[in-house]
Chains A and B, each alone.
Chain A
Amino acid sequence: MFLKKIAAVVTIVFITVSFFSCEPKANTVPGESTKLRNPLSVKDSVILSIDKSPMDMSYFPEDYPQQKMITPDMPNPVARVIYSRPQKNGRVIFADTSVTQNLIQHYGQEWRMGANEATEIEFFKEVSIGGKKIPAGRYIMYCIPYPDKWTIILNQNLYSWGLHIDKTKDLVEIELPVIKNNVVIEYFTMLFQNSTYGCELVMAWGDVKVVMPVNFN
């Protein structure tokens, strides 16, 4: 009986906390208010307002630029990804072709994994992905999502906009299982995390994520 009471209190406290703590991040979208979308003021320049799907970058080791501030003699980073961060905004992110409205991406079709420019990944030393050696260098990345797996592809058509894929420049392809998230992730996110064999590139959006193992040879 006593245990039951404690359990009830704990549950109520927890529900209250979770209600308040899970909410905030999505509401503060910088650059979304019309006030910030000001007239372009530098004449004769191609100057855009803050992008709806802003760019971001992630390094491995994680937070490398900040870490380098503390330890200036750090060896070079291993990897970095530059991508854009679209927001879910109440839409369905992935669905089959029977869904046509309020949808972002159909299953079975190429997706640039973000927005705007093709997602770019750079390795500062040789690594292995899907059993294949990837020489140090810069690549673009895209994927073909399915309900239970994503096919991730590294391609050599650099500095290109993500809407047109030149398949003749594919370098490596790897199939990875889709993992369900406990929470819905509003912004498409890519980041590296440590692993025993090297690192993993986590790609997460909505209620799914995919983890790509990167082996340091």
Chain B
Amino acid sequence: MKFLLLSVVFFSFYFSAVQAQSKLPALDKSPMDMSYFPNRYPVLKIQNKVNEPPVARVIYSRPQKMGRVIFGELIEYGKVWRLGANEATEIEFFQDVKINDNKIKKGRYSMYCIPYEAKWTIIINKDNDIWGSFKYDEKNDLARMDIAVQKQSEITEEFVMSFDKTDTGANLVIAWDNIKLDLPIVF
């Protein structure tokens, strides 16, 4: 009888343990990351090398190529893509900026694209905190712009978004597989 009791106790522990474990998220296959402009802003900040707030930051997920053909196959041409994985990509501007002559007010936005072979339509949308592009609603678009696709000789294994300084502000560089795009941000 004691043994039975012990087993029951053991069992209840087991289930609570499993429950606790399964409730916690495993490490994501397409981990999240974030990029600032100026680049590495948080490090510059603790080194007292910046006084101004950052200009922009993007929060996105990083799927990997893993031997697959990405554009035209894994990601179909002509369909809205969340620019990454999981939650829709989020871009935040800490001041008003201009992208391709579109005025973008300081704030937090979702970002999508519609990829084609030679160009992508980049979309800035006002609906935040949303998963993927499944419920993407064109009515909430703030700006749409066509950006040329640049072929790369080297392969980018992990989808990446990062800012590059330019004479007029910064480019948001978007790269995966054998292509890259520069989204010009003026400020």
* A→B interface (CB under 8 Å): 3-4, 6-8, 10-11, 14, 18, 21-22, 25, 28-31, 36, 38-39, 41-42, 44-51, 54-59, 64-66, 68-69, 72, 76-77, 80, 82, 85, 87, 116-118, 157, 159-161, 163-164, 181-183, 185, 187, 189, 191, 204
* Nearest CB on B from A80, distance (A): 7
**Segment touching A, from B17-25, B73-81, B99-107:** B17-25
Give min CB distance, B133 to chain A, whole Å.
Answer: 10
Nearest A residue to B157, CB-CB: A38
* Inter-subunit contact A36/B25 (CB<8 Å): no
The B102-148 residues at the A interface (CB cut-off 8 A) are 129-132, 134-135, 137
Q: Is the CB of A77 within 8 A of B21?
A: no
A30 contact set on B, CB distance < 8 A = 27-31, 64
CB distance from A51 to the nearest CB of B (A): 6
A14-B11 contact given A36-B64, A41-B155, A50-B62, CB 8 Å threshold: yes
Which chain B residues numbered 128 to 187 have a C-beta less than 8 Å away from chain A?
A: 129-132, 134-135, 137, 152, 154-158, 160, 162, 164, 173, 175, 180
Given the interface pairs A51-B31, A54-B31, A183-B20, the reply to whether A41 lies near B152 with Cβ below 8 Å is yes
Q: Nearest B residue to A184 by beta-carbon distance?
A: B21
- Per the bound structure, the CA–CA distance linking A11 and B132 in Å amounts to 44
Q: Given known contacts A30-B64, A55-B32, A68-B131, is B17 in contact with A183 (CB within 8 Å)?
A: yes
Complex CA gap A187/B24 in Å reads 9
Residues of B within 8 A of A80 (CB): 129
In the complex the two chains form, is A22's CB within 8 Å of B45's CB? no
For window 1-52 of B, CB contacts with A under 8 Å fall at 1, 3-4, 6-7, 10-11, 13-14, 16-18, 20-21, 23-34, 36, 39-43, 45-46
Q: Is the CB of B87 within 8 A of A45?
A: no
Bound together, the chains give a CA A215 to CA B143 distance in angstroms of 38
**Can you report 10 A-B residue pairs in the complex whose CB atoms are below 8 A from each other?**
A7-B7, A8-B3, A10-B7, A25-B21, A36-B158, A68-B129, A76-B129, A182-B13, A191-B24, A191-B25
Q: Are B32 and A46 in contact (CB under 8 A)?
A: no
Q: Does B59 contact A (CB under 8 A)?
A: yes
Given A54-B27, A82-B34, A182-B17, A161 contacting B4 (CB threshold 8 A) = no
Looking at the complex, which one of A42, A58, A160, A164 makes contact with B156 (CB distance below 8 Å)? A42
Docked Cα-Cα span, A201 to B73, in Å, equals: 40
B173 nearest in chain A by CB position: A45
In the complex, the chain A residue whose C-beta lies closest to that of B150 is A42
A45 partner residues in chain B, CB cutoff 8 A: 162, 164, 173, 175
Tell me the bound Cα distance from A6 to B156 in angstroms.
Answer: 57
Given A50-B62, A183-B21, answer yes or no on A160-B45 (Cβ-Cβ < 8 Å): yes
Closest CB in chain A relative to B135 CB, distance in Å: 5
Query: Chain A residues with Cβ under 8 A from B129's Cβ?
Result: 59, 64-65, 68, 76-77, 80
| One of A4, A29, A163, A189 near B46 (C-beta < 8 A) | A163
**In the bound complex, do residue A42 and residue B28 qualify as a contact, i.e. CB atoms below 8 Å apart?**
no
B162 touches A187 (CB 8 A): no
CA distance A190 to B90 in the complex (A): 20
